[in-house]
Amino acid sequence: MTSPRPTGAAPGTATVDYLRVHRDTPRGPRRPPLFKQYPGSVRIPLPWPAAPHPGRSAGPLALVGALTSAYAPTRLQFYTTAAMAALGGFPGTNTAPTLRGGVRRAVPSGGAYYPAELYLAVTGGYAPGPGVYHYDATHHTLETLATDDPQASLRAALGRAPTPYTLLVSCRMWKNASTYGAFGYRLGCLDTGALAGQLLHRAPDGTDLRLVFDDQALDTLLGLDPDLESVYAVVRTGPAPAVPAAPAAHPSARTPDDPAPAAPADAPAAPAPDVNAVRGLESDLELRAAAHPSAVRLHHASQRSGTADRSRDVPTWDAFRRSPGRDGPTAADRRRRPPASGRSIDLPEPLDLPEPLDLPEPLDLPEPLVPARVDAALRSAVRFSGAAMTVRQLGTLLAWLLTGSRCDITGTSPGAGQLAAYCLPSRVTGLAPGPYAYDPATHRLRPAPGTAGDGSAPTDALGGSRTAAARLFLFADLDRGLRGHGDRWYRMQHVLAGIAVQRCRLAGTALGLGCRPVSDYDSGGVRTMFGVPRGQVDVVQLLVGPAAPRAGVVDIGLSGPTDGREA
């Protein structure tokens, strides 16, 4: 097992080592099982189908069902023989298996590995009772890991009083290494952020996100082996505004003469003795043994820098679902101004999207756009039609991309949490092709500092589909962020970028657009094209544009009436 770099290494050393090699490392042994389960646990079924945003009168268990269903399987996707022939280059008459497919969820994931796992810690008298639970996405069920009230552990790990519900988003760091090698660590951080973004979108007002906490304390609370799986994001929330019943005294607080209170009807039984027998991590052990040393060092280094400033205040207003068109830029937005270069271009006012975005209500928009329910309509990969999108649609996506990621690090340390956005439109009506920097404070585009005189771009550096109408890029400040948070900065910025990806996909679906994150591009070429300031690194690229049907792909929806169709 690879040893981590000594504790005394300079902040950022592990990040720099990882960035040198992470795109060019060998793959791991084999593809792991998709789902993790605790077979010996007491299981608590959740309401199905779950309402994406339960009303204020809904019970706490309905809220838990809505939050966890953000990570439930939404469809089965199959590739027909014709599609496999087109993808693999073999004749369509080949007698290979007629279908190849897999389970898809409502959040993007590199290679559909879904390395994030979702846990729930409940305090006080809230349903389904105090304790710690793992979400079994296969059955939309909570698996009981412990029935002790976790208040003390959460307070120690987070540095503040816990909320009724604490959602703990972990990452199985090596789950996708069988395909992506060391680069899979970066993708896992993005995938974790995408799930956190989906949870933040569904959670009620007052929810906050925390990325600085005591990793060891939370991993111990969940019984995790931090060499295989570790908590990377924490979402603190509560039930719909209603006063719960006073919680019963914990059994340890009673004297021998006190009668034992009756257990609530919805309280889980004590977990079985073999609850920690986990199914689904066997291949993670193999992949960890083959993991690239640079990725292992970066993971360990990020854990060592996680306990500083845990008591930092977080805004309690609903920052995560705010509308950029109605509420305007924040102070953090104004600190993200890109370098000035050339004449700025005013973007039209962002379209006023519905909140929540995943309700199937018609939009009152000038274009004939028909939104679909996000859970069923989001695609991890889309094919673009090659048609143009409007400049107002592009501006709306840019505005939603950089709002709503406020958390315990955003705007509190120079350079930390301040993602910068750039775009490369190719087919946007009313906007000339070429590289632009986006200024969220003024909702304007400026020709990027690296733009050539003719506005051309090195398309060979971009990767991905050439039929997208535009490309969006997120960059993060490496130098100043590492000084503020050490090597933990790298994973925090990718978690924030994952949140931005999911917000862009939610908004894109509401606008009738496809949105696909891709990573197969030349980082150096992209940096040169946009002329990004020294010390900034690319985080993710998003392809956007009108989507087209994909011949030979069959989607069978799981979140409502079966709507199997050939796309």
Q: How confident is the model at residue 141 (pLDDT cuts 50, 70, 90)?
A: very high
| 189-238 residue pLDDT tens | 999 999 999 998 888 877 889 999 999 999 999 999 999 999 999 999 98
* CA angle, residues 222, 224, 230, in degrees to nearest 5: 100
* Secondary structure tally for the chain: helices H, strands E: 16, 21
Q: How confident is the model at residue 80 (pLDDT cuts 50, 70, 90)?
A: low
Greatest mean pLDDT range, 15-19, 64-68, 319-323: 64-68
pTM: 0.82
Q: Residue 259: what pLDDT? A: 41
| 347-361 residue pLDDT tens | 999 888 766 565 444
Averaged pLDDT for residues 372-391: 73
Q: Is the pLDDT of residue 316 over 60?
A: no
Provide φ and ψ at 473, rounded to 5°. Answer: -125, 140
Q: What single DSSP character describes residue 461? A: G
Maximum Cα–Cα distance for the chain, whole Å? Answer: 86
- Least Cα distance to 451 among 532, 520, 389 occurs for 532
Give me the residues paired with residue 136 across strands: 141
161 touches 313 (CB < 8 A): no
- Least Cα distance to 427 among 543, 328, 537 occurs for 543
Count Cβ atoms below 10 Å from residue 423 Cβ, excluding itself. Answer: 25
Q: Residue 346: what pLDDT? A: 92
- Residue 469 CA to residue 385 CA, distance in Å, equals 9
Q: Is the pLDDT of residue 320 over 90?
A: no
